[in-house]
């Protein structure tokens, strides 16, 4: 019987083509949007984790309360012991000490007078560590380099391209950082600019400076201290549960509410409103899915009604021949499942092709992000996940079944007593 | 078995509501149909032929009186039970052939057997046999829109008899056919009736058909005006 129905569906183009197209369009959009939102969430998570929040981050309790001002007088002291503790207790996480600092960058002219001066937001990292999780790699320094080279000695620094250009800085130029030490005094320290970077993240590209951790520690008098310790899961995947466990365990052991200088750990989702933002992005496609199901169902319901009119005779003969209404109704639904499957396969194929395209090419959103304060890569790439292959079948099948279920109710209203008359005209 | 009563009506009345009144389409019909009969219900348009076939075919219910089909009381059948009887024991032929347009001739004839969940091998045999009876095997792979009216009606008859039903009900089966095709179809139905002992009950007001009938029931304004058996040699006798 199913084969019989399949033949009918495949042969009767006018019966199946429009519904198949409707389903395919809805499914394509679902798959695309799903992949796109995946890409956005992935991008946000990654960009934040690497550059901004870590999967986990440790700072002093006091530092947390005014973290935006980069209060290095509230930095973590006893950094080495703290790092040892973290590495030992949570070996599934990479722990990275960093210093975020603000200051003025002063470029001297030929006679030691100031040639250019401008504010900078610096990040100090261990530029010379090696291994898979080296900071150099996390920050994609090599890939982001647009001019010059990576530092080879401790006092060499990298600047963002935008800043280097606006201050007419050349490779090899001296640059003096004027800032404040951990103890509130004035700090002046000479660096040498050896490379220029474009990260592809608006917030970093505006005016940042990447320097070596030890050099900045010396510059700001931060001996064995750092402002933040970042934790990144070694499998690169943020596990909310594991992260929460680590946070709880760490804070229980190390954080003292009555000591503002005691360390405190926070999650990625505790920072920058990401805890609220990510779920919104994650569920955005669900809302769209519901909208698609509703819209497609309505269209398919109407298509079903029209098919019902066109197939009035067929339904009549089948009832006369003794097919019972329930069976006929179920067969109509079986037809719609076939149509839904064909449309879903088609739509999934197109949607996947589109997602793969958007995954490899990406879309540059920097135009929208000029004033944004979000850590996100300018080039957002869609992301195909295993779910991308099946997600479209949900709206595809749901909508066809729903649409047919409603339009097919007409079968139950059909009076057999009128069949002869209806079939004779 | 020759004397098995398959259909019986007792004081059957069918009224259609007409505004506040009701219109009697059938009045006090008392008829019996035996196994193997070849009966025509004859009468002018509006005399109640379709209404009577509807009730006998379980598609409608009497307003008063009773109708029995194969021992079952029609007024008491649920929709499902009616469908089951039609599926298992009745074949229908319509004035307009009502073949399913997307299916081939073979598949159209096969359809009632699918409803009966018959095995493939058995099904194929039955379909070919029905097509042979109706002399239309060469069109098996063809779609209905490529058939002439006469061919389409032969396919429709093949479809109605493929499951070897006890009774075939036909409402004016030749109304859309020319003389040549009408004769051919009637002759085929007569042969089937003889070979398979299938009971044929059909309505007609077509003069060409009347000479093939073995029993003629005349309906006039919803009443049986006459009910005659016809001798094989063509001489009508009063029952
Ligand atoms: N559904 C109906 N509602 C009202 N009147 C009907 C209905 N069906 C048939 N009739 C009337 O009943 C009478 C018999 O109709 P019908 O059985 O179709 O006659 P026939 O088939 O002999 O032409 C006609 O007068 C017709 O108008
Ligand atoms: Mg009629």
Q: Tens digit of pLDDT for each residue in A279-312?
A: 888 788 788 888 888 988 898 888 888 888 888 8
| Pairing mode, strands B223-230 and B236-238 | antiparallel
B85 touches A at CB < 8 Å: yes
Task: Measure in Å the smallest separation between the Cα of A16 and chain B Cα atoms.
Answer: 12
Tens digit of each residue's pLDDT (9 = 90 or more) over A191-208? 999 999 998 888 888 889
Ranges of H-type helices in B176-234: 179-196, 207-210
Q: Would you call A420 and B54 a contact, using CB atoms and an 8 Å cutoff? A: yes
For chain B, where are the E strands, in sequence order? 5-18, 21-34, 38-42, 64-69, 72-73, 90-93, 167-171, 199-204, 215-220, 223-230, 236-238
Q: Which two tokens stand for residue A18?
A: 């429009």
CB A227 within 8 A of CB A57: no
Measured in angstroms, how far is the CA atom of residue A329 from the centroid of ligand 2? 28
Q: DSSP readout, B223-239?
A: EEEEEEEE-TTS-EEE-
pLDDT at A370: 67
Contact residues, chain A, for B112 at CB < 8 Å: 321-322
Q: Which of A415-419, B1-5, B156-160 holds the top average pLDDT? A: B156-160
Q: What is the ipTM of this complex?
A: 0.91
Give the distance from residue B94's alpha carbon to the nearest chain A alpha carbon, in angstroms: 7
Structure pTM?
A: 0.81
Q: Nearest CB to A424: which of B57, B95, B115?
A: B95
Tell me which residue in A12, A419, A425 faces B59 most closely, judged by beta carbons.
Answer: A419
Ligand 2 centroid vs B97 CA: distance in angstroms? 15
Question: How do residues A262-288 score in pLDDT, each as one tens digit?
Answer: 999 999 999 988 888 888 887 887 888
CA dist list (Å): A339 to A20, A30, A302, A316, B42 = 6, 17, 15, 22, 47
Which residues are paired to A201 by β-bridges?
A377
Cα A28 off chain centre by: 20
State the Cα–Cα distance between residues A281 and A34, nearest whole angstrom.
Answer: 10
CA distances from A212 to A100, A215, B40 (A): 11, 5, 106
The yes-or-no verdict on residue A371 having pLDDT over 70 is no
At residue A8, the pLDDT reads 87
Residues in chain B: 239
pLDDT band at B108 (very low <50, low <70, confident <90, very high): very high
Average pLDDT of the residues of chain A: 90
pLDDT digits (tens, 9 = 90+) for B212-235: 999 999 999 999 999 999 876 544
Segment A128-152 mean pLDDT = 92
What are the pLDDT digits (tens) for A241-262? 999 999 999 999 999 999 999 9
Exposed, middle or buried: residue A152 (CB in 10 Å: 0-12, 13-18, 19+)?
Answer: exposed
The CB-side HSE value for B108 (13 A sphere, CA atoms) comes to: 31
Q: DSSP 3-state assignment of B36?
A: coil
Task: Report how far ligand 1's centroid is from the alpha carbon of B15 (Å).
Answer: 9
The answer to whether residue B57 neighbours chain A at the CB level (below 8 Å) is: yes
Which residues does residue A338 pair with via DSSP β-bridges, in sequence order?
none
pLDDT at A288: 82
Ligand closest to Cα of B171 equals 2
Q: How far is ligand 2, taken at its centre, from the CA of residue B45, in Å? A: 6
Task: Answer positive or negative: Cα dihedral of B142, B146, B149, B151.
Answer: negative
Write down all domains in chain B, each with its CATH number in brackets. Answer: 5-229 (3.40.50.300)
**Structural contact between residues A148 and A175, judged by C-beta atoms closer than 8 angstroms:** no
Residue A6, class by beta-carbon neighbours within 10 Å (0-12 exposed, 13-18 middle, 19+ buried)? middle
Task: Give the β-pairing of A263-267 and A56-60.
Answer: antiparallel
- Measured between CB atoms, which of A7, A313, A321 is closest to B112? A321
Could you give the CA distance from residue B144 to residue A12 in angstroms, rounded to a whole number?
Answer: 14
- Which residue in A55, A81, A96, A51 sits closest to A245, CA to CA? A55
In 3D space, the residue among B224, B151, B179, B195 whose CA is nearest the CA of residue B38 turns out to be B195
Q: Does B46 touch chain A (CB under 8 A)?
A: no
For ligand 1, atom 14, the nearest C-alpha belongs to B48
Contact A4 B114 (CB under 8 A): yes
Instruction: Judge whether residue B110 has pLDDT over 80.
Output: yes
**CA separation for the pair B144, B155 (Å, rounded):** 9
pLDDT digits 0-9 by tens, B50-87? 999 999 999 999 999 999 999 999 999 999 999 999 99
- In angstroms, what is the span from residue A183 Cα to ligand 2's centroid? 107
| Residue A416 DSSP label | G
% of chain A at pLDDT higher than 70:
99
Cβ neighbors of A371 (< 8 A, separation 6 or more) are: none
Task: Provide the H-helix boundaries in A224-324.
Answer: 240-254, 274-310, 312-320
Which letter does DSSP use for residue A77 in this model? P
Instruction: Tell me how far the alpha carbon of residue B60 lies from the centroid of ligand 2, in angstroms.
Output: 14
Q: Kindly report the nearest CA distance between residue B70 and chain A, in angstroms.
A: 16
CB nearest A12 (choices: B61, B102, B172)? B102
Q: What whole-number distance in Å separates Cα of residue B101 and Cα of residue A373?
A: 64
Could you tell me if B51 and B208 are in contact, meaning their C-beta atoms sit under 8 angstroms apart?
no
- Are B111 and A322 in contact (CB < 8 Å)? no
Check if A113 contacts B (Cβ < 8 Å): no
Give the pLDDT score at B239: 40
For a pocket test of ligand 1, which of B17, B25, B206 has the largest count of ligand atoms closer than 8 A to its C-beta? B25
Q: How confident is the model at residue A369 (pLDDT cuts 50, 70, 90)?
A: low
* pLDDT confidence band for A425 (50 / 70 / 90): low
Whether A372 shows a pLDDT value over 80: the answer reads no
Chain B residues within an 8 Å CB radius of A326: 80
In SS3 terms, A203-227 reads as HHHCCEEEEEHHHHHHHCCCCCCEC
Burial class (CB in 10 A: 0-12, 13-18, 19+), A367: exposed
Domain boundaries, given as residue ranges, for chain A: 2-47+276-424, 56-237
Ligand 1 test: best mutation among B20, B22, B48, most atoms within 8 Å of CB? B48
Which residue has its alpha carbon closest to ligand 1 atom 25? B46
Give burial (CB, 10 Å; 0-12/13-18/19+) of A288: middle
Residues A123/A210, Cβ–Cβ less than 8 Å: yes
Contacts of B222 (CB under 8 A, 6+ apart): B14, B24, B25, B26, B27, B47, B48, B51
Q: Using CA positions, which residue lies closest to atom 18 of ligand 1? A: B50
Mean pLDDT of A164-189: 91
A382 to chain B, minimum CA–CA distance in Å? 43
Pocket of ligand 1 (CB under 6 A): B 16, 23, 25, 43, 45-51
Upper half-sphere CA count for residue A86 (Cβ side, 13 Å): 27
Per-chain mean pLDDT for chain B:
91
pLDDT of residue B233: 54
Residue B37 has pLDDT above 50, yes or no: yes
Model pLDDT, residue A387: 92
């Amino acid at each position: 019987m199913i084969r019989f129905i399949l033949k009918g569906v495949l042969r009767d183009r006018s019966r199946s083509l429009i519904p198949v197209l409707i389903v395919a369009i809805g499914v394509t959009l679902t798959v695309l949007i799903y992949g796109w939102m995946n890409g956005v969430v992935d991008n946000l998570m990654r960009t934040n984790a690497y550059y901004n929040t870590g999967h986990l981050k440790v700072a002093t309790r006091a530092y947390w309360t005014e973290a935006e001002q980069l209060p290095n007088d509230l930095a973590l002291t006893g950094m080495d012991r703290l790092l040892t503790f973290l590495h030992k207790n949570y070996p599934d996480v990479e722990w990275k000490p960093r210093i975020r600092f603000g200051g003025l960058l002063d470029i001297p002219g030929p006679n030691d007078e100031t040639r250019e001066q401008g504010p900078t937001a610096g990040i100090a990292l261990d530029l010379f560590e090696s291994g898979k999780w080296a900071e150099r790699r996390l920050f994609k320094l090599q890939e982001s380099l647009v001019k010059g080279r990576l530092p080879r000695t401790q006092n060499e620094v990298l600047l963002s391209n935008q800043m280097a250009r606006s201050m007419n800085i050349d490779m090899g130029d001296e640059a003096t950082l004027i800032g404040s030490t951990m103890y509130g005094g004035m700090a002046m320290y000479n660096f040498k600019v050896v490379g220029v970077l474009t990260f592809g993240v608006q917030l970093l590209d505006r005016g940042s400076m990447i320097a070596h951790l030890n050099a900045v520690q010396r510059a700001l008098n931060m001996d064995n201290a750092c402002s933040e310790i970042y934790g990144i899961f070694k499998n690169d995947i943020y596990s909310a549960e594991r992260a929460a466990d680590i946070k709880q365990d760490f804070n229980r052991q190390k954080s003292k509410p009555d000591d503002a200088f005691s360390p405190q750990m926070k999650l990625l989702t505790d920072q920058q409103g990401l805890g609220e933002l990510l779920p919104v992005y994650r569920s955005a496609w669900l809302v769209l899915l519901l909208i698609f199901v509703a819209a497609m169902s309505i269209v398919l319901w109407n298509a079903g009604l029209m098919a019902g009119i066109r197939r009035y005779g067929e339904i009549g003969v089948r009832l006369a021949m003794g097919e019972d209404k329930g069976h006929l109704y179920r067969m109509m639904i079986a037809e719609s499942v076939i149509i839904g499957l064909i449309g879903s396969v088609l739509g999934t194929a197109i949607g996947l092709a589109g997602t793969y395209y958007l995954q490899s090419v990406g879309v540059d959103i920097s135009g929208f992000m000029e004033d944004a304060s979000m850590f996100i890569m300018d080039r957002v790439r869609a992301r195909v996940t295993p779910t991308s292959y099946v997600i479209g079948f949900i709206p595809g099948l749901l909508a066809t079944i729903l649409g047919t279920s409603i339009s097919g109710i007409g079968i139950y209203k059909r009076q057999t007593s009128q069949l002869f008359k209806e079939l004779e005209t | 078995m020759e004397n098995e009563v398959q259909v019986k009506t007792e004081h059957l009345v069918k009224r259609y509501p007409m505004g506040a009144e009701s219109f009697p389409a059938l009045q006090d019909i008392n008829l019996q149909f035996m196994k193997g009969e070849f009966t025509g219900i004859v009468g002018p348009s509006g005399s109640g032929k379709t209404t009577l076939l509807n009730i006998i075919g379980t598609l409608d219910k009497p307003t008063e009186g009773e109708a029995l089909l194969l021992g079952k009381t029609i007024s008491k059948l649920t929709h499902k039970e009616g469908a089951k009887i039609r599926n298992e024991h009745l074949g229908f032929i319509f004035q307009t052939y009502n073949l399913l347009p997307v299916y081939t001739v073979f598949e159209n004839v096969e359809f009632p057997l699918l409803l009966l969940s018959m095995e493939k091998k058995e099904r194929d045999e039955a379909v070919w046999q029905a097509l042979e009876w109706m002399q239309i095997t060469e069109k098996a792979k063809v779609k209905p829109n490529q058939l002439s009216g006469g061919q389409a009606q032969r396919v429709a008859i093949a479809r109605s008899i493929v499951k070897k039903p006890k009774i075939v009900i036909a409402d004016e089966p030749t109304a859309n056919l020319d003389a040549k095709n009408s004769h051919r179809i009637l002759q085929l139905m007569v042969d089937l009736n003889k070979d398979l002992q299938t009971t044929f009950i059909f309505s007609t007001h077509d003069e060409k058909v009347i000479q093939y009938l073995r029993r003629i029931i005349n309906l006039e304004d919803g009443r049986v005006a006459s009910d005659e058996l016809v001798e094989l040699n063509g001489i009508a006798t009063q029952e």
